[in-house]
Amino acid sequence: MGIINFKEALKEQKIITDYNKLSERSNEVDLIKKGSEVQDITLKLKNTLRANKDMCGLSAPQIGYYKRIICLKFGDEIRTFINPLIEGVEGYEMSLETCHSIPNKKFIRIRNSKIKITYQTPLAKIETVELIGMASKVMQHEIDHLDGLLLSDVGFEVDEQWDKASEKEKLEVINYYLDSIDLLSKEVDKQIETDEEAKMIKDGIRFINSVKDGTTKLER
């Protein structure tokens, strides 16, 4: 099982800002085999969160561990989410976000206003929870990190003039961002259509989702 160095785990960890390292997808965690490792990473995440009052959430890859572990603040409580999976989403809204791994920058990012996630607790119990508002945005932000996705990859960077801009100017920027996302989505779809393996995966995901939402009925 291994031995936890509690003195080291209680230290605040350095937040990684190296794009190449952060672009890696994190691995699922086997809580049966890696229980002590999970406990060690969780302690480091929690103490780093406590040391940074302006930080709402933190993912394991941001401190150098490529495991699917996230810690979020809920008031004075910090909760741990292991192997989180988004099972359902509702609504869309614009989110103005910052990231400790991309210091001194702000990005506009489209987020779902409500999400349902299934995850494991540190005791390997499987739970499902619905998150709305800020909790939903923070969870989506941290899951992006687990997938190796940064705000700079899909967000729209805004400068210090953003807060001084008129509502009309902000709307123009947002519309430009939405148009760019639409163009990117169409380009990705084109690439998928020319890649047989990627197309099979996309079709498989579409079929599974259609069964889940009742569009496709399976014969018994």
What amino acid positions are annotated as catalytic residues? Answer: 142
Rounded CA-CA distance 78/72 in Å is 6
With a CB cutoff of 8 Å and minimum separation 6, the contacts of 16 are 22, 61, 62, 63, 64, 101
Partners of 88 in the beta sheet?
116
Rounded CA-CA distance 174/186 in Å is 19
DSSP-assigned states of every residue in 178-189: HHHHHHHHHHHH
Contact between 16 and 150 (Cβ < 8 Å): no
Neighbours of 208 (CB within 10 A): 11
Rounded CA-CA distance 83/9 in Å is 21
Rounded CA-CA distance 8/48 in Å is 12
Task: Using the structure block, give the residue that is written with the tokens 């920027």.
Answer: 173
